[in-house]
Amino acid sequence: MESWLFLLAILIIALVGKNKSLVIGVAVVMVLKLLPQTQHLMKLLQSQGINWGVTVISAAIMVPIATGEIGVKELLHVIKSPAGWIAIGCGVLVAVLSAKGVGLLAMSPEMTVALVFGTILGVVFLKGIAAGPVIASGITYVILTAFNILPGR
C-alpha cells in the first residue's frame, strides 16, 4: 500500500508541475504494478531502463547528423571557439561522472531513493528534465569520494 501512495503522490506532483514525462513514467509503472505477472518486466525496466533511455537520447541527438543539418563543417566550426571546447569538456565530464554514478548506484542502491526524490523536486519545481539521476549519482560519487564517505566501504 505504501508504494501505491508514494507513486500516487509523485503522480500528483507531476500533474501539478505539468511534467508530461514524469506523468507518463509514473503512469506506466502504476499500470505495470496493477497488472498481474509483470514483476519480471518491472525488474527488467529497473535494470535496463536507464540504458534504453540513453539509447533513445543518443538516437535523438544523431538525427540532425543523419538529416544533414549538422556535419563535419559545423563540428570544425564549433571547435574553433572557446564555447565549443567548453561543450566538449562538459560532454567528457558528464560521461565520466555518469559512469561513476552507475557504479555508485550498483554499490549502494539505497542512494537511488534520494537521487530520485531530488530529481523529482528539480523536475517539478525548477522545470528541470529527468535525465539527471545518473549524472547526479556521478556528482554524488565525486563528493562522497572527496569526503571519504562512500557507502558500502
C-alpha closest to that of 118 among 101, 136, 143: 136
- Mean pLDDT, the chain cut into blocks of 10 residues (153 residues total): 90 83 91 93 86 85 92 89 85 83 76 78 80 73 83 65
Per the listing, cell 531513493 goes with: 113
pTM attached to this predicted model: 0.64
What residue spans define the domains of the chain?
71-152
For 109, what's the count of Cα atoms within 13 Å in the CB-facing half-sphere?
3
Helix/strand/coil (H, E, C) string of 26-47? HHHHHHHHHCCCCHHHHHHHHH
